[in-house]
Structure 1
Amino acid sequence: WLESAGIIVNKNMIPFDERKPTQTSGLRLGTPALTTRGMGAAEMKQVAELIHQALSSNGDEERLTRVNKQVVELCAAFPVPH
C-alpha cells in the first residue's frame, strides 16, 4: 500500500529476528532523501501521517489516491536539488 501511495521504503532485517535472512520483517525509512530536499521536523511529522494513512487504508484505492496526491504535493514543495 505504501508504494501505491507513492511512498518507497526498503525491506530490512531487524536485530534478533528469528526469521530466516530471506524473510525480512522490518522496514527502513530513510530520512536522508527527505533532508536533502530541505524537509525538517514538521515535514517528517507529515510524512509519518501519510504513512499511517496509507497503511490504514487497507488497500482502498480511493484513500491511497488521496494519500498519493498529498505525497506528490509535498515532493513538489521540496524538489530534489540539482
Structure 2
Amino acid sequence: IPFDTESRFVTGGIRIGTPSVTTRGLKEQGMVKIADWINRVVTSRDMATIVQVRQEVRALCDQLPLYPEFKRTDY
C-alpha cells in the first residue's frame, strides 16, 4: 500500500488482485467502478446501499461472465 508506514505484518488496508477482473475483460474504468462499490459499501450505514451495489455487481458479472459456457441460475 503506497505510503503505508506500518509493517507488512500489520493490516493497513485492502489489497485487491486484478487477474480475475482482467480475465473478464475489465480495464481501468472497471477497476474504478469496483473501487466505488467497495467505498459505497464500506462507508454505508444502510442496507439499501448494500442491496443496490449487489445488484450492480451482479449485472456486471452477467455481462462479463468468468465462464461464459456456464449460465447463472441464481446467486
The answer to whether TM tops 0.5 is: yes
Return 5+ residue gaps in structure 1 as ranges. Answer: 1-14
Structure with greater proportional strand content: 1
Q: Distance in 2 between matches of 1:56 and 1:29?
A: 18
More relative contact order, 1 or 2 (CA 8 Å, 6+ apart): 1
Q: Distance in 1 between matches of 2:19 and 2:29?
A: 15
Identity of aligned residues (%): 32
Q: Tell me by how many angstroms 1:39 deviates.
A: 0.8
Indicate which of 29, 34, 50 corresponds to 1:64: 50
Return 5+ residue gaps in structure 2 as ranges. Answer: 70-75
Q: What is the alpha-carbon root mean square deviation over aligned residues?
A: 2.6
Paired residue total: 67
- Runs of 4+ displaced beyond 4 Å: none
Q: Distance in 2 between matches of 1:49 and 1:18?
A: 27
TM-score for the superposition, normalised by structure 1: 0.64
Q: Larger Cα Rg: Structure 1 or Structure 2?
A: 2
